Amino acid sequence: MTGGSSGIGRALGAALVRRGDRVVLTGTDGARAARVAEELTGVGPGRASAAVLDVRDGAAVAGLVTGTVEQQGRLDLLVNNAGVGIGGPVEDLALAHWDRAIDVNLRGVVHGVHAAYPVMLRQGSGHIVNVASVAGLLPNPGFTPYASTKWGVVGLSLSLRGEAAAHGVRVSVVCPGGVDTPMLDKGMPSDLPRVPAVEAADVRAVITELSGGRLYSADALAADVLRGVERNRAIIVAPRQARIAWRLMRLSPSLLVRFAAATTPLRDAGTGSTDGTGTAAPGHLSRRDGAG
């Protein structure tokens, strides 16, 4: 589980441990990942361990997968959850912003798939779960780099699912809406150039409003994800409000594009963010642990 130290990753890890699984949680902050793994092991009956990982490092991702298989004997589930939120007016973004979004959100998923998929092919079984965002299904003006990568993750997941099915390997993509996690209160990575519109945002307030006045809990989403995995769903969208928006997008893409253009937070509030764990809304700017 990449990005497993907080938010949706932590909630998913807890749910897996509670059902008896052995889970490896990764993050860029090794001490925090270790603390979370110890806490989750305490809820049992499964157990969690921790590893330091930057998903931008393909060799490190491959090494972790290889080591896990050597220790545990097999790999039944891979959750590519680590990600970073980049938003703001496109004209105010440097190439560094685009590079970070692509390297973490898309290339990081590619690294996970490239390492785990051959293992699962040899086993003849396994499930890859890629955490994207509702931003990978809907237009997100003011949030273009993040949305671009999440659309890429959705396309990667559905295309791979078509190939993998014949070999007994399953693939699902998770597209959450607004979820309540501590990452709502964090901005863009501090090593990237500042974006004035981003600095003015009250992220939690913006996302709460975009979510109909109420954020979804990470634990509730984790339950949705595991239920979707058990049912082998191709696309797992939650909560209900996100599913409604997705249905509207499929019925009338032009309507949703016009609506998004009229309601982007960048116009009135500077920007907005999702929970930092894969959920999305216009102007999402927070980050998930494990993102680099």
Q: Is 146 a catalytic residue?
A: yes
Residues 107-136: tens digit of each pLDDT: 999 999 999 999 999 999 999 999 999 999
Mean pLDDT of 9-15: 97
| pLDDT band for position 265 (cuts 50, 70, 90) | low
Give the chain's domains with CATH numbers. 7-268 (3.40.50.720)
Q: Are strands 179-180 and 216-217 parallel, antiparallel or unpaired?
A: parallel
| pLDDT band for position 197 (cuts 50, 70, 90) | confident
Marked catalytic residue, from 117, 143, 146, 151: 146
Secondary structure string (H, E, C) spanning 142-199: CCHHHHHHHHHHHHHHHHHHHHHHHHCEEEEEEEECCEECHHHHCCCCCCCCCCHHHH
Residue given tokens 């545990």 in the structure block: 72
Token pair of 276, please?
């930092």
User: Cα separation of 104 and 55, whole Å?
Assistant: 6
Highest mean pLDDT of the ranges 52-61, 255-264, 265-274: 52-61
CA-CA-CA-CA dihedral for 42, 47, 52, 53, to nearest 10: -130
